[in-house]
Amino acid sequence: MQDVKKKLLTAVEKMPAFPKSVHQVLKLASDINCSQKELVEVIKKDPVFTLKILRLVNSAYFGLAREITSINHASVYLGLNTLKNVALGLAAVGAIPKSNVAGLDMGAFWLHSLAVATSTRMLGSMLGVSRDEAADYFAAGLLHDIGKVVFALYMPDEFQKAMGLAVEKNMSLYQAEGEVMGATHADIGALLAERWNLPSELHEAILDHHNVGDGGKSQLVDCVFAANQVSKKLSFGAAGDFTFKPLPAAIEQRFSLDLDGLIKELPTLDEEVEHARVFIKLGEAS
């Protein structure tokens, strides 16, 4: 097991780091005494990043009635937590190469991730979370499968083998990874979350998004799990396998709906995912 952990840590160490400005944003945003002004000053020091955030804020994703022309204005309108998550989403996409030798299709990967992000946010809203808190739900969905990218980039032979096994035996990639590598994308994703100093609730969602047992772990983890099944059943993109599971009893209870019932409650999902594509477009732009 030590050998496996060592191999995972070596792979995680090779992942690109976030820009300094994003590290500072995450650090500041985790401080309850942080002011909007401090956060704005950090973002302003990175003009390229500032421009990306303003483009995102003025896109159909937020659907604002009037144009936001400054980061100060954006911070007032969006709130500190949403601004933090916008910065985090853009930075994560920007840190990830567009191709890998393992053959993980990054276009399909990001479409799946966006669908899970959008569904998680919508499910959180159904349960009454505020608009500001819903930004955490979107970020958790966007990054839930980030460990697959680490595998595809830095353990490509093993990851290819796991993807092949998942297809051949019609099993989940999560299961196949455990058999081939002795660890899963959730394990290595959680290690990356530590390296990137992501907030603890994001770390938990990445680590536990397959491991909900009977459900009821935390509202956020339950929403990510349910959103993952919704996105797979509706074939939004692909992330290595197409197996989906019914919702555990506690998650059905939380929503008073089964998987098909949840899907019926998300009629605008297609359109919302389309709007969210701007994250990838702007994140990947150099």
Every domain of the chain with CATH number 1.10.3210.10 lies at 2-16+98-284
Total-model pTM? 0.95
Contact 110, 237 (CB under 8 A): yes
Contact 197, 89 (CB under 8 A): no
Q: Is 168 exposed, middle or buried (0-12, 13-18, 19+ CB in 10 A)?
A: exposed
State the DSSP code for 211: -
- For the segment 216-245, what is each residue's pLDDT rounded down to a tens digit? 679 999 999 999 999 999 999 988 877 888
Of the options 3.40.50.2300, 1.10.3210.10, 3.30.230.10, 3.90.1150.10, the CATH number for the domain spanning 2-16+98-284: 1.10.3210.10
- Written as tens digits, the pLDDT of the chain (286 aa) is 668 889 999 999 999 988 888 889 888 888 888 888 899 999 999 999 999 999 999 999 999 889 999 999 999 888 889 999 999 999 999 999 989 999 999 999 999 999 999 999 999 999 999 988 999 999 999 999 999 999 999 999 999 999 999 999 989 999 999 999 999 999 999 999 999 999 999 999 999 999 887 666 799 999 999 999 999 999 999 888 778 889 999 999 999 999 999 999 999 999 999 999 999 999 987 6
Minimal CA–CA distance to 254: which of 228, 215, 225, 224? 215
Minimal CA–CA distance to 227: which of 286, 166, 269, 191? 269
